[in-house]
């Protein structure tokens, strides 16, 4: 008895579905590249399933670095202080309220971001220090680079709900639905930005 055709069928069935990439380009109202924009993608009809991990938001030259972080729900974030002065870190945001008292070095206790939403960070001593943590349940997410681009990799082809956000955008979060094709899909988004406050410096 020849079992080869049956074995070949089993191998074919075991092959994973072809993965696709979603490329996103962010621009401001003048058409210039927009860094620090966030995109998330959740497949429709399937449960969200991000994987919590660990992240770092540093304090360098009296600024939070990076200006924007995007993490899965349940991620633990550390806040080392590399400056030669003490900082505090706090948030009054509904998604995460906490305060790390004045400290220097790396002895501050890591904080677990356990709810989805946008968390604004500040320092009680230095009013201009500001950063954001975008906490998501989406399985695919990313942040745009200095060229205003990001790529969400390894998506199964199909329908997705996509969230697009930038901390300085005047219109808030944008939500759209699109179909990711097996060959890959490109999306472009423009944001109108709020005027920058004096002394703002994003790293």
Q: What is the pLDDT of residues 31-46, one digit of tens each?
A: 999 999 999 999 998 8
For residues 66-71, give the mean pLDDT: 97
Distance, in Å, from the CA atom of 113 to the CA atom of 43, rounded to the nearest integer, reads: 23
Question: Which carries the bigger pLDDT value, residue 195 or residue 187?
Answer: 187
Preceding peptide of 202 cis, ω within 30°: no
pLDDT band at 6 (very low <50, low <70, confident <90, very high): very low
Question: Which carries the bigger pLDDT value, residue 68 or residue 16?
Answer: 68
Q: How many helices (H) and strands (E) does the chain have?
A: 1, 17
Q: Which residues pair with 69 in a beta bridge?
A: 133
Structure tokens given for 151: 């790529």
- Using an 8 Å Cβ cutoff, are 114 and 73 in contact? yes
Distance, in Å, from the CA atom of 126 to the CA atom of 114, rounded to the nearest integer, reads: 26
What's the pLDDT score for residue 201?
A: 57
Structure tokens given for 47: 């449960």
Q: What would the pLDDT profile of 125-155 be if each residue is shown by its tens digit?
A: 777 889 999 999 999 999 999 999 999 999 9
What's the pLDDT score for residue 88?
A: 82
Question: Which carries the bigger pLDDT value, residue 203 or residue 64?
Answer: 64
What is the dihedral sign for C-alpha 100, 94, 74, 150? negative
What's the pLDDT score for residue 103?
A: 65
Largest CA distance in the chain: 80
Asked whether residue 4 carries a pLDDT value surpassing 60, the answer given is: no
What's the pLDDT score for residue 102?
A: 66
For residues 109-137, give the mean pLDDT: 92
pLDDT band at 15 (very low <50, low <70, confident <90, very high): very low
Buried b (16+ CB within 10 A) or exposed e, 129-167: bbbbbbbbbbbbbbbbeeebbbebeebebeebebbbbbb
Asked whether residue 77 carries a pLDDT value surpassing 80, the answer given is: yes
């Amino acid at each position: 008895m020849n079992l080869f055709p049956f074995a070949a069928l089993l191998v074919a069935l075991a092959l994973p579905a072809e993965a696709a990439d979603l490329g996103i380009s962010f621009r401001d109202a003048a058409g210039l590249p927009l860094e620090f924009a966030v995109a998330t993608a959740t497949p429709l009809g399937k449960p969200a399933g991000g994987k919590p991990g660990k992240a770092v938001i540093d304090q360098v030259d009296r600024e939070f670095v990076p200006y924007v972080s995007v993490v899965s729900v349940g991620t633990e974030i550390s806040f080392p202080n590399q400056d030669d002065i003490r900082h505090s870190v706090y948030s009054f945001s509904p998604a995460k309220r906490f305060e790390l008292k004045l400290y220097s070095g790396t002895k501050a206790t890591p904080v677990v971001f356990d709810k989805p939403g946008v968390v604004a960070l500040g320092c009680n001593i230095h009013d201009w220090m500001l950063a954001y943590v975008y906490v998501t349940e989406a399985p695919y997410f990313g942040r745009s680079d200095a060229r205003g681009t990001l790529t969400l990799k390894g998506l199964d082809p199909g329908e997705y709900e996509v969230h697009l956000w930038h901390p300085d955008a005047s219109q808030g979060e944008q939500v759209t639905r699109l179909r990711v094709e097996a060959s890959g899909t490109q999306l472009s988004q423009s944001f109108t930005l709020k005027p920058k406050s004096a002394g703002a410096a994003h790293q």
